[in-house]
Amino acid sequence: MIDDLGFPVACEAPPRRIVSLVPSLSEALAVTVPSRLVAVTDWCTHPPGLDLPRVRGTKNPDRAAIEALRPDLVVANQEENRQLDVERLRAAGVPVWVTAIESLDGALHSMRRLFVDVLAVDEPDWLRTAAVEWRRPAPRPRRTVAVPIWRDPWMVVGARTFTGDLLARLGLDNVFGVGEARYPRVELSSVRADLVLLPDEPYVFGPDDGPEAFPDLRTVLVPGRQLTWYGPSLATARDELLDLIGRVSR
């Protein structure tokens, strides 16, 4: 098998002991093949009640604990996990499958490959539903949007990102969606848009932390899971996000 980065991953049989280092993938695996998932990171919060051993965070996984679990596959992501950790796990003889997600279509394709080709199961219902939902036409008229993901320094969603693609399919034009930077640093004075979406991850924006920085702009607090995760949440995220965005416009 060849992962999303073109790296060969030896799988003599469909993996039965999987460690996930990505919250989106953890939810997808827990919903689809729950008996195969043996450990997740501290940041893996879905599905609710996920009761599995934890192997620290996405950027600092406990490699010794992972090796001790004797997984036949670790799933990771190019953006969320460090190449160093992937390389060291592979050097220890642990197979690692790395996903690379920069668009909705890329996410759907990557998930199909993981579940159908690697895990040898039928395409999950949530994945089929997500594909149908996100093929629906984008609402009109289109509006401009900015999506901060961090403050001090302020950083926003930029070009060639999964979230940026979702925004376009929601009828929103990302004002920072051009250029080379995927998550550029910006000055607040440069944020000029019809809407500012404030997700609760990776920075935890909330009612008292975020909206006050944009007193002259409409802000919407949104669950980060709906805007940045590419697992089962995709099946309902489109309608839920449009509902949240629509409320501020009424």
Is the overall model pTM greater than 0.95, yes or no?
no
Whether domain 143-249 has CATH 3.40.50.1980: the reply is yes
pLDDT in tens, 51-69: 999 999 999 999 999 999 9
pLDDT in tens, 4-21: 999 999 888 999 999 999
* Chain-centroid distance, C-alpha 148: 15
For 17, other C-beta atoms within 10 Å of its C-beta total 15
Where are the CATH 3.40.50.1980 domain residues in the chain?
Answer: 18-123, 143-249
Contact 246, 238 (CB under 8 A): no
pLDDT at 250 over 60: no
Tokens representing residue 155 in the block: 């950083």
What pLDDT, on the 0 to 100 scale, is given for residue 249? Answer: 57
What pLDDT, on the 0 to 100 scale, is given for residue 248? Answer: 63
For 250, other C-beta atoms within 10 Å of its C-beta total 4
pLDDT in tens, 105-117: 999 999 999 999 9
What pLDDT, on the 0 to 100 scale, is given for residue 246? Answer: 86
Contact 97, 73 (CB under 8 A): yes
Contact 36, 236 (CB under 8 A): no
Q: Average pLDDT of 100-128?
A: 96
Tokens representing residue 109 in the block: 């394709």
Beta-bridge mates of residue 174: 145
What's the fold here for domain 18-123? Rossmann fold (3.40.50)
| Res. 179 pLDDT band, cuts 50 70 90 | confident
DSSP string over 60-72: S--HHHHHHT--S
What pLDDT, on the 0 to 100 scale, is given for residue 180? Answer: 86
Q: What percent of the chain has pLDDT over 90?
A: 94
What pLDDT, on the 0 to 100 scale, is given for residue 118? Answer: 95
What pLDDT, on the 0 to 100 scale, is given for residue 12? Answer: 81
Looking up tokens 């991850």, which residue turns up? Answer: 201
Edge-first strand order for the sheet with 218-222 is: 172-174, 143-146, 195-199, 218-222
DSSP string over 164-209: HHHHHHTTEEETT-SSS-SS-B--GGG---SEEEEESSSS--BTTB
Residue 98, classed as helix, strand or coil, is strand
Contact 228, 162 (CB under 8 A): yes
Cα 236 from Cα 121, distance rounded (Å): 22
